[in-house]
Amino acid sequence: MNSKELKLKLVNLGMLSLRQKLSLSAAIPLIMLFLLTLVAINTSSKLVAADAKVESTHQLIEGVLQIEAAAAQMEAGMRGFLLSGKPSFLAPYEQAKALVFEQLAQLSSVAHSGSQLARSLQEIQSSIQAWIEQVARPSIVLRQGVGTTATMAEVVNLVSQAQGERHFQAINQQVLALIEYERQLMEQQKEQAHALSAQSNQVLVVGGVSAGLLTILVCYGVYRSVMGPVKRMGLAMEQLAIGDLTQTVAVDTDDELGQMAKHYNHAVLQTQEAMRSILALSEEVTAGTESIEQRNSAMASDLLRQAEQVNEIVVSMEQMVASITEVAHQSVSASDSAKQAGVIANGGGAVVQDTVEGMELIHAAVAASSSSVAELGSRGQEIGSVIQVINSIAEQTNLLALNAAIEAARAGQAGRGFSVVADEVRALAERTTEATRTIEQVIESIQSETGLAMNQMTQGSEQVQQGVSLARQAGHSLDEIVEGTEEVSSMIDSIASATEEQSQASQVITDSVEAVSKVCEMAKEQSRLAAESAMDLAQRSQQMRDKLVNFRVA
Whole-number pLDDT of residue 11: 46
How far is the C-alpha of 546 from the C-alpha of 470, rounded, in Å? 99
CB 22, CB 30: distance < 8 Å: no
Rounded to two decimals, the pTM is: 0.34
Three-state DSSP class for residue 86: coil
> 278-301: per-residue pLDDT in tens?
767 767 767 766 776 676 676 667
How far is the C-alpha of 93 from the C-alpha of 70, rounded, in Å? 9
Of 422, 376, 370, which Cα lies nearest the Cα of 400?
422
What amino acid occupies position 430?
E
Q: How far apart are the first and last CA of the chain?
A: 44
Q: Is 383 exposed, middle or buried (CB count within 10 Å of its CB: 0-12, 13-18, 19+)?
A: middle
CB 523, CB 303: distance < 8 Å: yes
pLDDT (average), residues 143-166: 71
Nearest 10 degrees: Cα torsion 190, 104, 174, 140 = 160
How far is the C-alpha of 1 from the C-alpha of 188, rounded, in Å? 43
Whole-number pLDDT of residue 492: 53
Whether 310-528 and 3-223 are alike in CATH topology: the answer is no
- Would you list the domain boundaries of the chain? 3-223, 310-528
How far is the C-alpha of 500 from the C-alpha of 325, rounded, in Å? 8
How far is the C-alpha of 214 from the C-alpha of 333, rounded, in Å? 111
What amino acid occupies position 189?
Q
The CATH number of domain 3-223 is 1.20.120.1730: yes
Of 387, 376, 386, which Cα lies nearest the Cα of 449?
376
Q: Where do the H-state alpha helices sit in 132-162?
A: 137-144, 152-160
Whole-number pLDDT of residue 331: 55
The percentage of residues in the chain with a pLDDT greater than 90, rounded to a whole number, is: 0
Topology annotation, domain 310-528: Helix Hairpins (1.10.287)
Whole-number pLDDT of residue 512: 63
What is the number of other CB atoms lying within 10 angstroms of the CB of residue 506? 18
> 232-251: per-residue pLDDT in tens?
778 777 777 787 777 777 77
